[in-house]
Chains A and B, each alone.
Chain A
Amino acid sequence: MYKIVKRKELNKTVTLMEIYAPFVANKAEPGQFIILRVDEQGERIPLTIADYDRAAGTVTIIFQIVGATTKKLNMKKENEYIQDFVGPLGRATETEGVKNVAVVGGGVGAAIAYPVAKKFFEKGANVTTIVGFRNKDLVILEKEFKAVSNKFVLMSDDGSAGQKGLVTNALKDLIESGQKFDKVITIGPLVMMKFVSLLTKEYNIPTVASMNPIMIDGTGMCGGCRLSVGGKIRFACVDGPEFDAHLIDFDEAIARSGTYSDFEKHSYEKTCNLFKGADANG
């Protein structure tokens, strides 16, 4: 069992938790992920590591409530426990030799972009962070991002926070205005990453996307997390989760991510009914 030592709601649908898992914290690096199970009946879900504190032995996860499992997880309170927590899994972000980097995140993906930006910043790279949200109520980690970015651009779909528009608009403007990037890292919804990738391909800027496909074991056994990268089958759990964005078949990844959407909807409704009383009590 793994203790939730801190729980904080970042907005209505996004929650941060610090989990006491000293062996995971000890090895965790930006770009890696963990797999957790909330309870005995729980499914195994992968979540990218949002931060870690080796001294305190904690790993931070930030998740959006999208389905039954994240709903259940969100109902857990500080000092309660979750069943399983394993990691760190996957390969860390490669930060060596990068001088000018753009970190482009969207929605809850911004949570994962944060440790990546931080690592680049600590390594002395010139970090431009572009993060996008639907509206001002959904903005997370603004202060944290500013602290680890040489340039920080906030975008929102409706203009209620930062500039109005998509992250790709901001990235394109910066590139057009002459800013040089030797690497772009994009983390967020698949559709966003697809369009970031299409944009940077035009300008021939090496780009890495952090993929978060359906996964079970996360250790190179089940093969559920496979993607087409450069026409070959690659496994996000052991070969990734970061891949050359220009080689990823995003349309296929988008289709595969919806494999269980009907099941998830049914399961989410079931969980919501289960928690109806608890919800009402706040």
Chain B
Amino acid sequence: MANMSNIKNEMPVQAPNVRNKNFNEVALGYTPEQAIDEANRCLNCKNMPCVAGCPVKIHIPQFIAMVAKGDFEAAYKIIAESSALPAVCGRVCPQETQCEGKCVRGIKGESVAIGRLERFVADYHNAVNNQARQKPESNGYKVAVIGSGPAGLTCAGDLAKKGYDVTIFEALHIAGGVLVYGIPEFRLPKSIVAKEINGLKELGVKIKTNTVIGKTFSVDELLNDGFSAVFIGSGAGLPKFMNIPGENLKGVYSANEFLTRINLMKAYSEDSDTPVQRANSVVVVGGGNVAMDAARCAKRLGAQVYIVYRRGIEEMPARREEVEHAIEEGVVFKTLTNPTEILGDNNGCVNAIKCVEMELAEPDASGRRRPVVKQNSDFIIEADCVIMALGTSPNPLIKSTTSGLETADWGGIIADEQTGQTSREGVFAGGDAVTGAATVILAMGAGKKAAEAIDNYIQNKKPR
């Protein structure tokens, strides 16, 4: 009998006033009882709208049915058919606009907590399963994957399962891309990422860290060196700034730099040699997930934190749960506010940010209401640190060193949406390097499609 409760089983979390002082994971995960109770809310709809909302098309009703039966390993196997990183996606996917956004239960109440169930199943599997994955028999073809973020990991995993000899090239000293340098520990524990990467190694995937494609090797060298195909999943590039006065004062960070210091370099820990400013008052500019991550990290380092965003809270592109968590943790939201200048002291350090109030006019091309400046509304927020979380522009290293690789006006690599095929034969691309800054799951979807296209390409070109 279905559980007809209109609300989700609540996710157990660390209390806001406890968690805003530590970097441990915020959400603690369902118990088996909660998971089974939640799974029973699923109506097992015939037309499965939730699956249509999932970029990697996980067989959602089937896995939930297994959870309802208490057969969590069977549930895991169903998820693993479609998703390479379930423990990651259960934590960072914007479910409210994907699977859960399409859930029939969401019409009269809250949708089934699909993301929480996915996370539960993946964590259960990781906790009980210590068996190494079987390395498939090699088909003798080598594929190079550039970047070890969500797109690259997914592409590498799918190809390795088909028997390809896959090498991932990573510029940083550890693998994981944005999953390690960008998303904070309290939202995605790094041990989970490490476990997923270890799983790929068991499948035979090789990972070469400290290797910058476009510098250490070029894409052409890889193709000449025995790789039958190359997948570019190099991610987003340089941070954007607003071009307002004061952006190069001491204490102004891009969110990328601030988060990299904290997440990749563990600057919050006494043992780390990497410094990060311990500010008193931090203003984060932006309304996406990256802004929320930066704000919540700053809060955990002990600062009073403001988020400044030019539209309203409803227009924020961040995942809803991240906004709610940030508010609970004491981050102050200054919406309909736009910075006009960052002010500094005699030593070149930030001491305040000057803002104007905004109001929303008619919708613009993006469909969101356009913010316009309210006259004579200048005001100042005192701050000794400002973090710009305004998105990124593409990294120039690969495009400038790969002849014949076409890019869009804004710099993104042009690739077929269905296959990831670029303008160069044997070269495929996907993730933020193609779309600009997007989500983990979209990058995974692109990596998955590209893996299939690479398999087709190699098998057609070199029949046995």
Please report A residues at the B interface, Cβ cutoff 8 Å: 23-24, 27, 37, 41-44, 68-69, 72, 83-89, 216-217, 219-224, 226-228, 233, 235, 238, 249, 252, 255-256, 258-260, 263-264, 267
Contacts and interface: CB of A to CB of B under 8 A. Distances in A.
A122 to B, nearest CB: 23
B323 to A, nearest CB: 24
Contacts of A23: 211, 216-217
A258 to B, nearest CB: 7
Interface in B263-314: 264-265, 271-275, 277
B172 interface: yes
A166 to B, nearest CB: 25
A41 B395 contact: no
Nearest to A238: B396
Contacts of A263: 275
B299 to A, nearest CB: 20
A226 B238 CA distance: 10
A222 B171 contact: no
B375 interface: no
Contacts of A227: 248
A60 B154 CA distance: 38
Residue from A44, A222, A228 with most neighbouring chain B CB atoms (10 Å): A222
Nearest to B241: A233
B422 interface: no
Nearest to B271: A41
Given A23-B211, A220-B397, A222-B257, A43 B250 contact: no
The size bracket of the interface on B is 35 or more
Contacts, number: 115
A258 B250 CA distance: 8
B242 to A, nearest CB: 10
Given A87-B215, A88-B215, A224-B254, A41 B273 contact: yes
B430 interface: no
B248 A256 contact: yes
A217 B274 CA distance: 12
Interface of B: 171-173, 181, 209-212, 215-217, 235-239, 241, 243, 247-251, 253-254, 256-257, 260-261, 264-265, 271-275, 277, 347-348, 395-397
A179 to B, nearest CB: 36
Nearest to B238: A220
A58 to B, nearest CB: 15
Nearest to B249: A255
Contact of A44 (B212, B217, B235, B265): B265
A221 B395 contact: yes
Given A219-B397, A256-B248, A258-B250, A86 B238 contact: no
A228 B212 contact: no
Nearest to B212: A219
